[in-house]
């Protein structure tokens, strides 16, 4: 690409800092930015101002590495010819934020849109990492549509416990079962879980954090190879520098999210998600990014585009290894290179490098076939999602590739299963009653949880992967089929039926299900239905009244008033109408 293709166009930041037609306001803007040691010459030097959206803080430990990467990002921006200005992002920490981090994804999105629109910023480095930070940043960039590039903080080093890899999240699910079975005590439980977090960085398994950063790279919104570099590695610092340098040229070339976030880019990302064994949280997040970018994407696309893509990455929870091995095997470029060789990707999709995805991946292949396989010799077939529908919901996701042989044998012969429903009203109800013998939970039960979607929880909680009653676990039954209008942690391998939309509190079909109803799952037809007489079902619907919602904060009320359903990305619906707001300059403030 050429050096400066602006052809005389002014930077938007010059409307603040360098506007001779409005000396009064220019002076007012300059004087205060000067007081933190930017000089007037510098701010009026015809150089772009690059914002750095810092998602790291003490409250957001998964992204804390960005605090230490800032020097390298800023050095890259300076060497590229830009002026860096770092700013904070509302913290989103997946495991620490109550009631859910998902509630805050849209709040951080709103904050980013407002900052990028209202301040003198020409391009932005989006620092990403923990689950919701990545989609929040990409959603904001899509709405504002000024040049933007994603920089992951990277996964933690691999965790180890007694000579075995201990992956984020996955070790918790396993240890919980061992605790119930009495095989470990409380101290060992704590030790096992904490061993999975040995350094700065985000989750080191293929949970939602690694998944969403792979999605950012697959969409073309980061430099090639960004997603998988572990946080403490020197390559991470180099990537921070290169990303800073690159965003300046993107501004000069006016390469915007709308040039990158096309339908082809989303189809590439859907295929990559299946190949990496990616999180069931990716569909709502990608749906949200697509909607803010104005790209036509439907939840059913996850089945039609992605279902038959095989599992090509051997990483927990679907496999054995963790982030360090994935990086050494070549990371996301290795997966995409193998998919590209098999003709699975749109090679012409434009990316943040200024080149097409095809050009970025030329000659790239797996460096370790035990960790990243070829397309033709994968770990498992059909690693994408089934998108189910029926009288209980219009859509719900199921990752059928994680169904164990034993589970398939017990429950899913020929893809059809009928069983008795037991329904819980949220996680508190589940914890209180799961061991209640009067519920009659046996191996022919399907566990349902409702009231845990975007409006209900609020924010949609990761609570659908419910463990069976202790008595069943002791008999060796570690999984029952579970269904709900909430989500599940990307680090869990449970074959749950998730993200049911519409959710029960807005009148979705799950609201009318009773404990004791028979339910039929038909994977061949991608359906799940309650086997209740039509007249009875309609009578229950007619008698139903929506539950009263208790808002604890103003944001909870605002969120619940405007949020849509998970199938549509859980966006603030009114926000999806806004496009390219970076081009609509705000008025002066005095």
Judge whether 492 and 465 are in contact, CB under 8 Å. yes
Interface residues toward Mg ion, by CB under 5 A: 94, 462, 489
Query: Which pair of structure tokens corresponds to residue 222?
Result: 């980061």
Tell me how far apart the alpha carbons of residues 366 and 342 are, in angstroms, rounded to a whole number: 13
Q: Which does 275 bind (CB under 5 to 8 A by kind): Mg ion, ligand FES, none?
A: none
Least Å from the CB of residue 430 to Mg ion: 17
Identity of the residue, 195 or 515, whose beta carbon is nearer to ligand FES in the bound complex = 195
Longest dimension (CA), the chain: 79
Query: Counting every residue, how long is the chain?
Result: 590
Q: Which does 462 bind (CB under 5 to 8 A by kind): ligand FES, Mg ion, none?
A: Mg ion
Q: Which does 209 bind (CB under 5 to 8 A by kind): ligand FES, Mg ion, none?
A: ligand FES
Identity of the residue, 131 or 529, whose beta carbon is nearer to ligand FES in the bound complex = 131
Least Å from the CB of residue 453 to Mg ion: 16
Q: What are phi and psi of 572, to 5 degrees?
A: -75, 110
Q: Which does 44 bind (CB under 5 to 8 A by kind): Mg ion, ligand FES, none?
A: none
Identity of the residue, 323 or 337, whose beta carbon is nearer to ligand FES in the bound complex = 323
Identity of the residue, 94 or 158, whose beta carbon is nearer to ligand FES in the bound complex = 94
Strand 416-424 with 518-522, pairing: antiparallel
Identify the CA nearest to 135 among candidates 59, 208, 230: 208
Least Å from the CB of residue 306 to ligand FES: 23
Q: Which does 174 bind (CB under 5 to 8 A by kind): ligand FES, Mg ion, none?
A: none
Instruction: Output the CA–CA distances (angstroms, integers) from residue 376 to 272, 380, 574, in the order listed.
Output: 15, 10, 44
Q: Which does 489 bind (CB under 5 to 8 A by kind): ligand FES, Mg ion, none?
A: Mg ion
Q: Does residue 94 belong to the site contacting ligand FES (CB under 6 A)?
A: yes
Identity of the residue, 30 or 65, whose beta carbon is nearer to ligand FES in the bound complex = 65
| H-helix or E-strand spanning residue 341 | helix 331-341
Q: Is 260 helix (H, G, I), strand (E, B) or coil?
A: helix
Least Å from the CB of residue 160 to ligand FES: 18
Say which DSSP state 42 is in.
H
Restricted to residues 473-492, the positions that interact with ligand FES (CB under 6 A) are: none
Least Å from the CB of residue 300 to Mg ion: 25
Least Å from the CB of residue 358 to Mg ion: 34
Angle subtended by helix axes 234-253 and 65-80, to nearest 10 = 40
Identity of the residue, 18 or 94, whose beta carbon is nearer to Mg ion in the bound complex = 94
Q: What are phi and psi of 154, to 5 degrees?
A: 95, 155
Q: Which does 203 bind (CB under 5 to 8 A by kind): ligand FES, Mg ion, none?
A: ligand FES
Tell me how far apart the alpha carbons of residues 303 and 562 are, in angstroms, rounded to a whole number: 28
Least Å from the CB of residue 208 to Mg ion: 6
Q: Which does 338 bind (CB under 5 to 8 A by kind): Mg ion, ligand FES, none?
A: none
Identity of the residue, 276 or 349, whose beta carbon is nearer to Mg ion in the bound complex = 276
**b/e code 338-355 from CB counts within 10 Å (16+ = b):** bbbbbebbbeebbbbbee
Instruction: Indicate left, alpha or beta for 111 from its phi (over 0: left) and psi (-120 to 50: alpha).
Output: alpha
For the beta carbon of residue 81, count every other beta carbon within 10 angstroms. 18
- CB neighbour class for 436 (10 Å; exposed up to 12, middle 13-18, buried from 19): exposed
Identity of the residue, 203 or 231, whose beta carbon is nearer to Mg ion in the bound complex = 203
Identify the CA nearest to 251 among candidates 121, 350, 147: 147
Q: Does residue 74 belong to the site contacting ligand FES (CB under 6 A)?
A: no
Extract the runs of DSSP E, i.e. beta strands, from 405-473.
416-424, 445-449
Tell me how far apart the alpha carbons of residues 480 and 478 are, in angstroms, rounded to a whole number: 7
Q: Which does 264 bind (CB under 5 to 8 A by kind): ligand FES, Mg ion, none?
A: none
Least Å from the CB of residue 454 to Mg ion: 15
Paired with 448 in beta bridges are 423, 483
Judge whether 216 and 47 are in contact, CB under 8 Å. no
Q: Does residue 57 belong to the site contacting ligand FES (CB under 6 A)?
A: no
Identity of the residue, 209 or 349, whose beta carbon is nearer to ligand FES in the bound complex = 209
CA angle 308, 310, 312 (to 5 degrees): 160
Identity of the residue, 74 or 236, whose beta carbon is nearer to ligand FES in the bound complex = 236
Restricted to residues 198-217, the positions that interact with ligand FES (CB under 6 A) are: 202-203, 207, 209
Which residue, judged by CB position, is nearest to Mg ion in the bound state?
489
Tell me how far apart the alpha carbons of residues 577 and 579 are, in angstroms, rounded to a whole number: 7
Site string for ligand FES, 130-169 (x = CB under 6 A): xx------------------------------------x-
Identity of the residue, 242 or 462, whose beta carbon is nearer to Mg ion in the bound complex = 462
Least Å from the CB of residue 516 to ligand FES: 37
Residues that bind ligand FES (CB under 6 A): 62, 94-95, 130-131, 168, 202-203, 207, 209
């Amino acid at each position: 690409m050429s050096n400066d293709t602006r052809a005389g166009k002014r930077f938007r930041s010059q409307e603040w800092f360098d506007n001779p037609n409005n000396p009064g306001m220019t002076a007012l803007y300059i004087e205060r930015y000067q007081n933190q040691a930017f000089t007037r010459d510098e701010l009026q030097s015809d150089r772009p101002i690059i914002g750095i959206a810092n998602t790291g803080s003490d409250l957001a430990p998964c992204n804390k590495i960005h605090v230490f990467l800032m020097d390298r990002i800023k050095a890259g921006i300076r060497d590229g010819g830009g002026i860096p200005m770092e700013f904070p992002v509302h913290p989103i920490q997946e495991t620490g934020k109550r009631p859910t981090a998902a509630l805050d994804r849209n709040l951080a999105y709103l904050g980013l849109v407002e900052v990028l629109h209202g301040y003198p910023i020409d391009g932005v480095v989006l620092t990403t990492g923990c689950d919701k930070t990545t989609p929040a940043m990409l959603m904001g960039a899509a709405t504002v549509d000024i040049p933007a590039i994603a920089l992951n903080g990277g996964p933690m080093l691999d965790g180890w416990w007694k000579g075995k890899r201990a992956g984020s999240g996955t070790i918790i699910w396993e240890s919980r079962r061992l605790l119930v079975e009495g095989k470990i005590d409380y101290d060992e439980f704590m030790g096992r879980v904490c061993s999975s977090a040995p350094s700065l960085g985000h989750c080191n398994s293929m949970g939602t954090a690694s998944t969403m950063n792979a999605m950012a790279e697959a969409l073309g919104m980061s430099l090639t190879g960004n997603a998988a570099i572990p946080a403490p590695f020197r390559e991470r610092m180099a990537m921070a520098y290169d990303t800073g340098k690159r965003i300046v040229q993107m501004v000069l070339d006016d390469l915007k999210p709308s040039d990158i976030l096309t339908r082809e880019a989303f189809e590439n990302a859907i295929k990559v998600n299946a190949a990496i064994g990616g999180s069931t949280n990716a569909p709502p997040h990608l749906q949200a990014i697509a909607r803010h970018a104005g790209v036509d994407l439907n939840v059913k696309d996850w089945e039609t585009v992605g279902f038959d893509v095989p599992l090509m990455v051997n990483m927990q929870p679907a496999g054995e290894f963790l982030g360090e091995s994935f990086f050494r095997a070549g990371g996301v470029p290795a997966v995409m290179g193998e998919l590209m060789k098999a003709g699975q990707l749109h090679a012409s999709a434009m990316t943040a490098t200024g080149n097409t995805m095809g050009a970025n991946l030329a000659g790239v292949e797996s460096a370790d076939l035990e960790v990243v396989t070829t397309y033709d010799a994968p770990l498992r077939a059909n690693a994408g999602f089934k998108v189910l529908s029926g009288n209980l919901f219009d859509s719900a996701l199921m990752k059928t590739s994680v169904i164990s042989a034993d589970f398939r044998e017990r429950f899913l012969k020929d893809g059809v299963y009928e069983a008795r429903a037991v329904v819980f009203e949220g996680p508190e109800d589940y914890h209180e009653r799961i061991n209640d013998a009067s519920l009659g939970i046996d191996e022919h039960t399907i566990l349902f949880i409702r009231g845990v979607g975007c409006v209900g929880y609020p924010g949609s909680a990761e609570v659908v992967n419910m463990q069976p009653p202790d008595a069943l676990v002791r008999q060796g039954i570690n999984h029952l089929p579970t269904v709900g209008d909430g989500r599940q942690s990307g680090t869990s391998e449970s074959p749950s039926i998730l993200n049911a939309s519409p959710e029960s509190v807005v009148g979705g079909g799950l609201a009318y299900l009773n404990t004791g109803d028979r339910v039929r799952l038909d994977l061949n037809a991608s359906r799940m239905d309650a086997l209740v007489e039509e007249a009875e079902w309609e009578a229950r619907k007619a008698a139903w009244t929506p539950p009263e919602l208790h808002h604890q904060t103003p944001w909870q009320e605002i969120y619940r008033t405007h949020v849509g359903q998970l199938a549509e990305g859980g966006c603030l619906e009114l926000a999806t109408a806004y496009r390219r707001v970076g081009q609509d300059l705000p008025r002066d403030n005095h």
